[in-house]
């Protein structure tokens, strides 16, 4: 056995993130680690990579027990990690990114030529073509990932941890990556693949270990199982079948007409002549590989970004070029894509975080009505079962899931005809996810118009009445709920033309 982790336990205060977890890896094996968000996958891998220390348990690599106090220790033991969010230096070249930490030297000088040549041989040896002199910022995501893997290989890694490696890739890039993993495994490199995409895992892993609530639920051979069995293990119960009431959509609430947003340096447009409509009583899902214009679209329809041409109307009012406040007054509620960046102020109280956007109804003559605020916020917190010490607790003390529930509660309380739900369930547990999904569907049934942006295809498919796919800032195609399948969406996400599917 190349690697053994035995009885790993990790406690944060009273919370147990990993509970006596055993995990092992053989040479040349691809071992997938699957589980819901918060199941403890990341914690386990952070422990293996020396970013966290286990409370209990031991790690044995190549027959020797090791203690990894820092990532350097793990790297020295032949363990490399490719993080979900790439750890690259965008303004540096590909070669610089790969050799960093073990730069070829000429005296005190950094020999960049030697680095480029070295990277060239390395990339040929492992069959991962890259241009050593290109700037990383100019490389597509798939290539950036290749750079990450080459970097780890250059560090001499025999074990590579891949954390959600396919999240930001197009289907073609995913296919390429999975093949590359298999090829590298034949060359003797071992992989730990963290994922929640069961199809990919089943197609590429030799063995699959399922974590739930910090415990190992089971470890099975990929050939002996299937997606249904795995998801039962992950969730611990059958997922509630979900019925969407048929609703006949009403009038258009949001229209985006031929909107173009240019990049900062006049490069190719971030949004290119995008048009879409969201009608009362429907959920319109926006799918796409992240970075294809979703964030910009969200900012445009919430008044946080100016358009260069085109028109946006909300509730029959032309809101093009107006401020976020005007959008809200015209009838917008907005669950933002990043709850900490946009959605909250960590240093302020739960109550202060809860009343953002509600000032008009919670004040009189410019004075906040504190008692009314306490009553209202307490009610929202109850309805969404937000766990908080008190209303005066600072928002930073809430867990991610509770913060998200607070934001959803706040935005749903607006009762506006139009709701933006961007990544509404990112990083929340299953219970919270169901609460949030129910709230969105309820609003739709009541005649609300909802724009859903999510990087989880399953979420898009589950909730949407219509699905639009964004590719390079353009609407690549539109599918109705009945027509949409994961395959069709993936095809559009990869830049396939929408005509034949529509």
Per CB under 8 A, residues contacting other proteins are 9, 11-13, 51, 53-56, 70-72, 75, 81, 83, 86-92, 96, 100-101, 103, 105, 108-110, 302-304, 323-329, 334, 336, 341-348, 352, 355-357, 359, 363, 366-368, 370, 390-391
Comparing CB distances to other proteins, the nearer of 172 and 304 is 304
Q: Which of 221, 220, 164 is nearest to 196 (CA)?
A: 164
Strand ranges across the sheet with 317-318: 271-279, 252-261, 309-314, 317-318
What is the distance between the alpha carbons of residues 485 and 461, in angstroms, rounded to a whole number?
A: 8
Comparing CB distances to other proteins, the nearer of 71 and 167 is 71
Token code pair at residue 36:
């819901």
Comparing CB distances to other proteins, the nearer of 77 and 234 is 77
Q: How far is the CB of 53 from other proteins (least distance, A)?
A: 5
Comparing CB distances to other proteins, the nearer of 25 and 47 is 47
Q: How far is the CB of 107 from other proteins (least distance, A)?
A: 9
Q: How far is the CB of 420 from other proteins (least distance, A)?
A: 11
What is the distance between the alpha carbons of residues 273 and 257, in angstroms, rounded to a whole number?
A: 8
What is the distance between the alpha carbons of residues 361 and 380, in angstroms, rounded to a whole number?
A: 15
What is the distance between the alpha carbons of residues 149 and 123, in angstroms, rounded to a whole number?
A: 10
Q: How far is the CB of 350 from other proteins (least distance, A)?
A: 12
Q: How far is the CB of 476 from other proteins (least distance, A)?
A: 28
What is the distance between the alpha carbons of residues 114 and 99, in angstroms, rounded to a whole number?
A: 10
Q: How far is the CB of 45 from other proteins (least distance, A)?
A: 12
Residue 77 CB contacts under 8 Å (≥ 6 apart), including other chains = 61, 62, 66, 68
Comparing CB distances to other proteins, the nearer of 110 and 176 is 110
Q: Which of 40, 33, 78 is nearest to 59 (CA)?
A: 78
Mark out the alpha helices in 315-423 (DSSP H runs). Answer: 324-329, 350-354, 370-383, 400-412
Q: How far is the CB of 482 from other proteins (least distance, A)?
A: 35
Q: How far is the CB of 162 from other proteins (least distance, A)?
A: 14
Q: How far is the CB of 325 from other proteins (least distance, A)?
A: 3
What is the distance between the alpha carbons of residues 256 and 327, in angstroms, rounded to a whole number?
A: 13
Q: How far is the CB of 303 from other proteins (least distance, A)?
A: 8
Comparing CB distances to other proteins, the nearer of 71 and 400 is 71
Comparing CB distances to other proteins, the nearer of 232 and 317 is 317
What is 166-229 written as a DSSP string?
A: TTT--HHHHHHHHHHHHHHHHTT-EEEEEES-HHHHHHH-SEEEEEETTEEEEEEEGGG--HHH
Comparing CB distances to other proteins, the nearer of 4 and 363 is 363
- What are the φ and ψ backbone dihedral angles of 283, each rounded to 5 degrees? -110, 120
Comparing CB distances to other proteins, the nearer of 154 and 170 is 154
What is the distance between the alpha carbons of residues 136 and 145, in angstroms, rounded to a whole number?
A: 10
Q: Which of 39, 147, 11, 35 is nearest to 86 (CA)?
A: 147
Whether residue 292 contacts residue 140, with contact meaning beta carbons closer than 8 Å, is answered with: no
Q: How far is the CB of 464 from other proteins (least distance, A)?
A: 24
Per the document, the length of the chain is 502
What is the distance between the alpha carbons of residues 196 and 46, in angstroms, rounded to a whole number?
A: 17
Comparing CB distances to other proteins, the nearer of 400 and 495 is 400
Comparing CB distances to other proteins, the nearer of 11 and 215 is 11
């Amino acid at each position: 056995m190349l690697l053994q982790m035995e009885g790993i336990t990790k406690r944060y205060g009273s919370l147990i993130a990993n509970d006596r977890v055993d995990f092992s890896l053989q040479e040349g094996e691809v071992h997938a680690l699957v589980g819901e968000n918060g199941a403890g996958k990341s914690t386990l891998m952070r422990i293996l990579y020396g970013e966290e220390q286990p409370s209990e348990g031991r790690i044995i690599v190549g027959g020797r027990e090791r203690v990894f106090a820092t990532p350097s220790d793990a790297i020295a033991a032949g363990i490399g990690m490719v993080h979900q969010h790439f750890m690259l230096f965008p303004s540096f070249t590909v070669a610089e990114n790969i050799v960093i930490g073990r730069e070829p030297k000429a005296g005190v000088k950094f020999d960049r030529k030697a680095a480029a040549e070295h990277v060239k041989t390395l990339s040929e040896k492992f069959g991962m073509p890259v241009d050593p002199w290109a700037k990383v910022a100019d490389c597509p995501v798939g290539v950036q990932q290749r750079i990450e893997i080459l970097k780890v290989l250059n560090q001499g890694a025999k074990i590579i941890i891949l954390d959600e490696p396919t999240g930001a890739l197009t289907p073609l890039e995913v296919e390429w990556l999975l093949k590359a993993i298999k090829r590298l495994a034949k060359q003797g490199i071992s992989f730990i693949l963290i994922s929640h995409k069961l199809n990919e895992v089943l197609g590429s892993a030799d063995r699959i270990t399922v974590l739930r609530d910090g415990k190992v639920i089971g470890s099975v051979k990929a050939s002996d199982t299937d997606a249904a069995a795995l998801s039962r293990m992950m969730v611990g119960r059958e997922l509630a079948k979900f019925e969407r009431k048929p609703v006949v959509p009403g009038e258009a609430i949001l229209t985006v007409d031929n909107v173009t947003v240019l990049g900062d340096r006049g490069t190719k447009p971030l949004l290119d002549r995008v048009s879409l409509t969201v009608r009362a009583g429907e959920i319109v899902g926006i799918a796409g590989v992240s970075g294809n214009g979703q964030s910009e679209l969200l900012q445009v329809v919430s008044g946080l970004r100016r358009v260069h041409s085109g028109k946006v109307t909300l509730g029959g009012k032309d809101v093009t070029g107006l401020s976020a406040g005007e959008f809200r007054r015209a009838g917008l509620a907005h669950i933002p894509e990043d709850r900490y960046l946009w959605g909250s102020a960590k240093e302020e109280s739960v109550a202060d975080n809860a009343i953002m956007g509600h000032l008009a109804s919670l004040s009189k003559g410019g004075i906040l009505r504190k008692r009314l605020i306490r009553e209202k916020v307490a009610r929202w917190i109850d309805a969404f079962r937000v766990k908080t010490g008190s209303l005066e607790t600072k928002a930073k003390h809430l867990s991610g899931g509770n913060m998200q529930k607070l934001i959803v509660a706040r935005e749903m309380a607006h009762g506006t005809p139009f709701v933006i739900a961007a990544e509404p369930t990112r990083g929340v547990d299953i219970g919270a996810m169901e609460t949030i999904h129910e709230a969105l569907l309820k609003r739709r049934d009541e005649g609300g118009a909802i724009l859903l942006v999510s990087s989880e295809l399953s979420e898009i498919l589950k909730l949407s009445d219509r699905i639009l796919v964004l590719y390079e800032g353009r609407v690549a195609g539109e599918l109705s709920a009945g027509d949409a399948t994961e395959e069709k969406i993936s095809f559009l996400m990869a830049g396939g033309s929408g005509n034949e599917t529509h």
